[in-house]
Each structure stands twice: as C-alpha cells, then as structure tokens.
Amino acid sequence: MSVRVTVPATSANLGPGFDCLGLALGLRDELEGELTDTGIGVDVVGEGAGSVPLDETHLVLRAMRLAFDALGERPSGLRLSCRNAIPHARGLGSSSAAIVGGLVLARALVVSGPERLSDDDLLALAVDQEGHPDNVAPALHGGFVLSGTDERGELYAVGSPVDPQVSAVVFLPPEPLSTEVARGLLPASVPHADAAADAGAAALLVAALAGRTDQLWRATRDRLHQEYRRPAMPASLDLVDRLRADGHAAVVSGAGPTVLVLVAGEDGAGADLAAYAPDGWRHLRLPVSADGARVEPS
C-alpha cells in the first residue's frame, strides 16, 4: 500500500520575527511512499531533480528513518517518489518541507502510527534535524505559527489567526543561497535598540496578520538580520528597499534570497507588483495555506 503526503512551502522571520515566526504558503511538495520487501528506491521530479541524492542520504529518507526509529520499526525496503514544487535554497522552507513530509509519511506507513507518534513528537524530531522550529512548525501545522523554546527547554508552536484577505507575493531569484552562508554574516550581538524595535514590530505583525492589515508595512520592518546579509544577496535587499519605499510590506523570506511581500485584498496588487521583478526573476502570488503536511486520500 502506498501513502501520499503533501507539505507546504514556508516563509520564516517575515521581517522582524527572527527564528520565531513562520507562515505556510500555498505551494506544496508531494511525497509518495511504499514499504517494500527489500532495497531503497528514490525518484525525484521537479525542483532538485538531478542534484539531490537518490540514496539513504536523501533528506526525506533521513527524516523517515527518524520516525521509524521513534516508532521502533525497521522496514526491509522502501520506495519513495518526490514531486517537488518548492524551490531549493531560496528561503521558502524546502528542507523543512522535506523533513516534515518525511516524518509524516513514515508515520502514516506504520500501523497505528498517528496514535503512537503525536504531532508534538514529530515537531521535536523535526527541530532536532532542522535545528530551529520557525519553518518546520508551519510546515507541520499550517497557517501562521509562533514557535520557539521556553526557559525550561520545552518546544512550543502556537498558531495565530490570519485574515483571509492576506496573501503573499514572492520574487524568486535565479541563483540559490545556502542558509549557512546567510547565517554566517550575522553578528554575535546587536544593539539593544534594534532588538527592542524588532520585538515591537513582531508583536504588531501578529495583530496585522490577524486583521489590522493596514499595519503590514510598519509591522514588517527589520533591524536584526536583513541588512547584515546584504553582501550575500544585494539584489534581494535592493528589491526590498524599492518595494518598501513605495509602501509595500516587503521582507527577505527566511534566509533568502527570495523576497516576499505580504498583501491584502483582491485588488490586483500581485499583478501590480510584477513590474518590480528584476530580469530573470520569477514572480508568484501565493495564498496562505491553512493546512500543514497532510496525508492525501488514496
């Protein structure tokens, strides 16, 4: 019996919410898995085809092994098919989608898997593999999620409302950027005033997404991380500057280099923004995905 799982793209940070805010978007990878008698078979089409490994080191398979181990299962063989729509190394959570999708797929392939391994368990496994929860939490739960670790070391992931008028416009550059490179540009400390400004903006962003959409531009201002990353993605930050100068709620998506703009309403803003796209960049308007990773009907 095969099982099919889809999992959404995600955008972390959203400007001021560094490593703690994430939003699921309506662009989904599709994974299909089946337990077999022996061997490993991996097939990839779409994004990453021809560049990702097709053996046990494939990120989805590594995540599946984590879930199987947590369930005390050792499948003899496995067939995995990936149809990828989420661009790789662009700041749209492709690695988180692979991790969360693999965990959910493995759980669904095991008898009574959902009863034996909860979503909280899956989140902990995903964070162990990814390193932080800002992308994996919305990939698992969908919507807008506030996540982190409390002073007792316990993970939390709390959903917050999103006004149905809100969607995202993304500008996808032709060249990737690794998260490691982007993180390597961040300083060890930042001025207190910058930290305070981002804390205020992040709090305002929760209200803006929930209904005060007139505050989206103000709420997406960042002083903690984006400017430090300009040397690695000057075209992305130049685009953010141009959009924000014209009153659009533009941010770097995750670690970049994709640029994301939060828009509200059905007023054609996505089409209007297309003119900002630099040569060679793709432009998409994506809804917010209320659903995270899900097992699809067979």
The Cα 213–Cα 264 span in angstroms is 7
143 and 76 in one domain? yes
Contacting residues for 202 by C-beta, under 8 A, at least 6 apart: 16, 17, 20, 21, 219
Return the amino acid letter for 123: L
Query: Which domain-ending residue is among 124, 145, 160?
Result: 160
297 inside domain: no
Structure confidence by residue, pLDDT tens digits, 74-102: 999 999 999 999 999 999 999 999 999 99
CA angle 34, 37, 41 (to 5 degrees): 55
SS3 219: helix
pLDDT at residue 235 tops 70? yes
76 CB-contact burial (10 Å; exposed 0-12 / middle 13-18 / buried 19+): exposed
264: annotated binding-site residue? no
88: annotated binding-site residue? yes
140 and 125 in one domain? yes
Closest by CA to 107, choosing from 5, 29, 27, is 5
186 and 149 in one domain? no
Structure confidence by residue, pLDDT tens digits, 153-182: 999 999 999 999 999 999 999 998 888 888
Band the pLDDT of 70: cuts 50, 70, 90.
Answer: very high
212 forms beta bridges with: none
3: left (phi over 0), alpha (psi -120 to 50) or beta: beta
114 and 130 in one domain? yes
94: annotated binding-site residue? yes
244 inside domain: yes
90: annotated binding-site residue? yes
Q: Under a CB-based contact definition with an 8 Å cutoff, are residues 85 and 29 in contact? A: yes
Distances (CA, A) of 106 to 15, 88, 90, 275, 296: 33, 22, 26, 43, 14
pLDDT at residue 10 tops 70? yes
148 and 109 in one domain? yes
Number of domains the chain contains: 2
Contacting residues for 267 by C-beta, under 8 A, at least 6 apart: none
Structure tokens at 244: 């924000």
Structure confidence by residue, pLDDT tens digits, 49-62: 999 999 999 999 99
Nearest 5°: phi and psi at 291? -100, 140
91: annotated binding-site residue? yes
279 and 250 in one domain? yes
Structure confidence by residue, pLDDT tens digits, 108-135: 999 999 999 999 999 999 999 999 999 9
194 and 126 in one domain? no
Q: What is the mean pLDDT of residues 236-254?
A: 97
The Cα 139–Cα 132 span in angstroms is 13
95: annotated binding-site residue? yes
Q: What is the mean pLDDT of residues 142-151?
A: 97
Query: Which domain-ending residue is among 160, 185, 211?
Result: 160
Nearest 5°: phi and psi at 111? -60, 130
Q: DSSP H helical segments within 80-191, as ranges?
A: 94-109, 113-116, 119-130, 133-141, 179-184
Q: Looking at residue 7, which CATH number applies to its domain?
A: 3.30.230.10
156 and 170 in one domain? no
Query: Which domain-ending residue is among 125, 142, 160?
Result: 160
* Residue-number span of the structural domain to which 26 is assigned: 2-160
92: annotated binding-site residue? yes
122: annotated binding-site residue? no
170 and 92 in one domain? no
89: annotated binding-site residue? yes
Q: Looking at residue 178, which CATH number applies to its domain?
A: 3.30.70.890
